[in-house]
Every structure is written in structure tokens, then in C-alpha cells.
Amino acid sequence: MEIKVLKNVLDKNMNQAEQNRQALMKHNVKMVNFISSPGAGKTTLLEKTIPTLQETMNVAVIEGDAFTSKDAERLQQFNIPIVQINTEGTCHLDSSSIESAFAELDLQELDIILTENVGNLICPTAFDLGEDFRIAVLSTTEGDDKPAKYPMLFRQARAVVLNKADLLPYIDFDNETFKKDLQDLNPNLQVFETSSTLGTGLWNWVEWLEVALEKEVKRV
Amino acid sequence: MEIKVLKNVLDKNMNQAEQNRQALMKHNVKMVNFISSPGAGKTTLLEKTIPTLQETMNVAVIEGDAFTSKDAERLQQFNIPIVQINTEGTCHLDSSSIESAFAELDLQELDIILTENVGNLICPTAFDLGEDFRIAVLSTTEGDDKPAKYPMLFRQARAVVLNKADLLPYIDFDNETFKKDLQDLNPNLQVFETSSTLGTGLWNWVEWLEVALEKEVKRV
């Protein structure tokens, strides 16, 4: 019975995700779902990504947090629509919370929605939000073994951003193991090594993201 | 209906946890539940903690992982009983998986069971395993805002081990915010700052753990 109920929850989520996808397509809006462990640097990556996207696109953010609106507050500087979803301890965003967020946004006016999921490497992977694709963010300090230990996200993601590269000189991180495990899980995965603190690797990442969003980018 | 089923799952878990607790008491075994994000350093902390405990106690480990037995393999060097639980993508250990692990251990011969939960700062907090207490492990690189953002664990834990202290010189980490947020959440929480890499802070932590385990420690 428990398994049947879980299946119902996931089916219901999938149906709503499909409706979200239709709504996005109707308004020609792309949506990206950022997933990582707590503290991998999703918000900092968004802080470094939004200014470039903003030059040519109308960007909005949906912020998922178990509690607090700390991350949303950090993004207020960009003067873009931000919808905070507090899951009240639930470990992931779901498609019905995204539907509620859509109601607070003017989709007609948007090009891109960046969705920051709750910090969790497992649960968010089971819940389709209706996004175009997923981005895995991993910090170097979490260790090179994480793709093998938490394979779901790395199988699903379009790209991995390996963040906090500035700390590589101070830690044990075997880039070869990391890359090989990723290749075994998902040969099409794009891998970017960034340091949001130093600003390295960000240009390649944002440029790739713009192309992946398939939006006509006319930089002035 | 979904809420009712969730309640049933949690009730069932709590009943089994109580039975686990009885089994532990019967054999005078203490059990500790280590909870953290992926890559915070739980396994490395165990590697540094077990040798001292081993001097005076019979130690066993229950290793919870979504997939792989990488962590269990790292602990095989200590020649202690280790039971691997693969949750197959489920985001936490539960009390029935611990009951199965007990069946593989000779409780009569043990003093301490160290349980390493699945890397996740949210889900494991809802599942009592029958442990005596919980330890939160947080790495400095996850950021000083984690207690406020993920309060459940920090409310429940007996102690926090702030790991990867050797990286503090290279990152932004406001110790004052961190300590104040912990104090607000849980005034009785013990806080240890450790670097498993450099070996700093470990002695205070292990000494405290031995006292918290309330075992008669006769060091030779």
C-alpha cells in the first residue's frame, strides 16, 4: 500500500509537471532546475550567472528552501522576479509548488526561469518540475566519489558544475576518478570547473548555458 | 490520505525504533547516529574516531549509503564488524533496516555501534533508529548559514562536529553567525571544530564522545 501511494504521488507530480511544461512552451519560457547538496554553491553560482543572462533575457528565479528566505534575499540585488517556496522541511520541490510559483510570475514577460531546488542530492531527482533540463552543482570539497555514490542526479543532468575549484590545492580530489565515474554514468554530460569566488570558469559555463537555452542571444 | 500514510510510515518506524532501543539496552550497547550532507566528512571522522574508541571498547559500524559500499571499504582497516545497508536511492536509514543490521551483529559482544546515515541534511532527521543520540557533522565549506536553513538536525543533535576547519583560511565563514544560530536552535549543543586532515580538534571530540557514551573507559 505504501508503494502504491508513493506511485500515486509521483504520477500526480508527473501530470502537473507536464502541465507546467505546456505553460512554459506556450509562453516560450525555458526553465532550468539546479540541484545539489546543501552548501555546494548554487546561490553563489546564480549570483555569478544572472548578470550575464540579464543582458539579453528576462530572467526570473524560483527559490526552494526547507526554511528561511536567505537565498532569495541574496538575489534581490538583480531586481528580477523571485518567488520563494518554503517546503517546511520537505526535502524537494514538486511540480505543484512550481505551478503556484507560476501564478506569481508573468510568464508572458519572461525568457528564463532558474529554479534552485532544496539542498539535497537524492530527493529532488525523483520530482520532475516541468523544467527543460537539470544542472548538477557539486563542490570540490564534497569529494570525487559523489557521482558514484549519488548516481541519479548525474545520470539525469545536462551538465555538472564542479564548483569551489579554488580549494583544489588544499584537498584530496582525484579529477581522473571524478571524470571517469561521470563518463560511465552519462557520456553526454558537460562538465564545467568553476570558482565563484575567483571568477574562474564562469564564462565557459554561462556561454554554454545560453546556447543550451536555445534562446536567440543578441549581445549588444 | 497521503498524510495519513506518511503518519503510518513514521509510526511504524517509531515502534521498530523502540524495539531496537530495547535490544540495545538489553545488551548494554550504545548507538550513535551520524547525520550530515554528502561529503561533509562523516567517514573520515569515523576513521579518526574509531582507533581511540577501539582501545577500550568493542566497536561496530552500520554504514548507510544510497548505493556503493565505498565508505564501508574505507573502514575495513579497523577489523571491526561493519554492516552495509544500501537504501537503493532512498534518502535515509530507517529503524527496520537497523533491525536487519542487528541480525548480522553479535550485540552481546559489542559496546558501541556507530551508524553513518545516508548523506542528507533533511530526511534522516525524521527517522528514529533507536539510537542513544545524534551527531551532526557539518563541513566549514558548506557555509555558516546551514543551521538556520536546515534547523531540524541541529535542534535534535547532542553535538555538532564542524569539520574541514583547515579550509577556514580560504573561505568566508562567519563563526559568530554560526555559533549564534546554533545557540538559538539548541542551547545545550556541544560544538567541536575539527580537521580530520590535520588531526586538530579530534582529541576533544573523542574524549567528549567517550563520556557521552557513558561507558566505563579504562585506558591502559
Q: How confident is the model at residue A216 (pLDDT cuts 50, 70, 90)?
A: low
Distance CA A144, CA A149 (A): 10
- CA of B124: how far to CAs of A46, A120, B153, B165, in Å? 28, 12, 9, 25
Question: What's the whole-number mean pLDDT along residues B157-175?
Answer: 97
**Alpha carbon of B216: minimum distance to chain A alpha carbons (Å):** 36
**Alpha carbon of B142: minimum distance to chain A alpha carbons (Å):** 4
Question: What's the whole-number mean pLDDT along residues A73-95?
Answer: 95
Of A89, A122, A171, the CB nearest to B89: A122
Q: Tell me the HSE value of A59 on the side-chain side, using a 13 A CA sphere.
A: 22
**Alpha carbon of B122: minimum distance to chain A alpha carbons (Å):** 6
Q: How confident is the model at residue B1 (pLDDT cuts 50, 70, 90)?
A: low
Q: How confident is the model at residue B179 (pLDDT cuts 50, 70, 90)?
A: very high
B120 touching A (Cβ < 8 Å): yes
| Residues contacting residue A11 through CB under 8 Å, at least 6 positions apart | none
Helix (H) or strand (E) holding A79: none
Higher pLDDT, B128 or B4: B128
Distance CA A217, CA A208 (A): 12
Search chain B and give the residue with CA nearest A7: B2
| Strands lying side by side in the sheet with A112-116 | A82-86, A59-65, A112-116, A30-35, A133-139, A159-163, A190-193
E-assigned strand segments in B36-111: 59-65, 82-86
Contact yes or no for B142/A39 (Cβ under 8 A): yes
Secondary structure letter of residue A195 according to DSSP: B
Cell match 528552501: residue? A65
Residues shown for chain A:
220
Of A8, A68, A91, the CB nearest to B91: A91
Contact yes or no for B136/B171 (Cβ under 8 A): no
pLDDT at B218: 56
- Report domain extents, chain B: 2-219
**Alpha carbon of A112: minimum distance to chain B alpha carbons (Å):** 26
Question: What's the whole-number mean pLDDT along residues A113-123?
Answer: 97
B217: pLDDT strictly greater than 70: no
Residues in B touching A9 (Cβ below 8 Å):
2
What CATH superfamily is the domain A2-219? P-loop containing nucleotide triphosphate hydrolases (3.40.50.300)
The chain-wide mean pLDDT, for chain A, equals 94
> What pairs with residue A86 in β-bridges?
A65
pLDDT at A220: 47
pTM of the model: 0.94
Q: How confident is the model at residue A89 (pLDDT cuts 50, 70, 90)?
A: confident
Rounded to 5 degrees, φ, ψ at B146 are -65, -40
pLDDT at B197: 84
Residues in B touching A167 (Cβ below 8 Å):
141, 167, 170-171
Secondary structure letter of residue A131 according to DSSP: -
A26: pLDDT strictly greater than 50: yes
pLDDT at A82: 97
pLDDT at A59: 97
The chain-wide mean pLDDT, for chain B, equals 94
pLDDT at A209: 97
Rounded to 5 degrees, φ, ψ at B205 are -65, -50
Alpha helices in chain A (DSSP H): 2-26, 42-56, 70-75, 95-103, 146-149, 151-156, 175-185, 202-212
Cell numbers placing B217 = 573507559
Secondary structure letter of residue B195 according to DSSP: B
pLDDT at B126: 96
Residues in A touching B150 (Cβ below 8 Å):
38, 66-67, 119
Q: Taking the CA atoms of chain B, what radius of gyration do you get in angstroms?
A: 17
B118: pLDDT strictly greater than 80: yes
Rounded to 5 degrees, φ, ψ at B104 are -95, -5
Cell numbers placing B120 = 542528507
| Residues contacting residue B114 through CB under 8 Å, at least 6 positions apart | B31, B32, B34, B46, B49, B50, B59, B60, B61, B62
A158: pLDDT strictly greater than 80: yes
B220: pLDDT strictly greater than 60: no
Rounded to 5 degrees, φ, ψ at A169 are -65, -20
* Contact yes or no for B120 and A171 at CB 8 A: no
Question: What's the whole-number mean pLDDT along residues B109-138?
Answer: 97
Higher pLDDT, A218 or B193: B193
Of B8, B122, B145, the CB nearest to A91: B122
B66 touching A (Cβ < 8 Å): yes
A132: pLDDT strictly greater than 80: yes
* Contact yes or no for A170 and B170 at CB 8 A: yes
CA diameter of chain B: 58
Residues shown for chain B:
220
Search chain B and give the residue with CA nearest A40: B142
Picking from B87, B112, B115, the residue whose alpha carbon sits closest to that of residue B216 is: B112
- CA of B121: how far to CAs of A12, A195, B47, B142, in Å? 26, 24, 21, 11
Tell me: the pLDDT tens digits for B25-53?
999 999 999 999 999 999 999 999 999 99
* Contact yes or no for A89 and B122 at CB 8 A: yes
Helix (H) or strand (E) holding B191: strand B190-193
Contact yes or no for A29/A113 (Cβ under 8 A): yes
* Contact yes or no for A38 and B66 at CB 8 A: no
Distance CA B89, CA B3 (A): 22
**Which stretch of A2-16, A126-140, A164-178, B91-105 has the lowest confidence by average pLDDT?**
A2-16
Distance CA A117, CA B36 (A): 18
B103 touching A (Cβ < 8 Å): no
B96 touching A (Cβ < 8 Å): no
**Alpha carbon of A111: minimum distance to chain B alpha carbons (Å):** 29
Picking from B84, B165, B161, B126, the residue whose alpha carbon sits closest to that of residue A149 is: B84
pLDDT at A2: 64
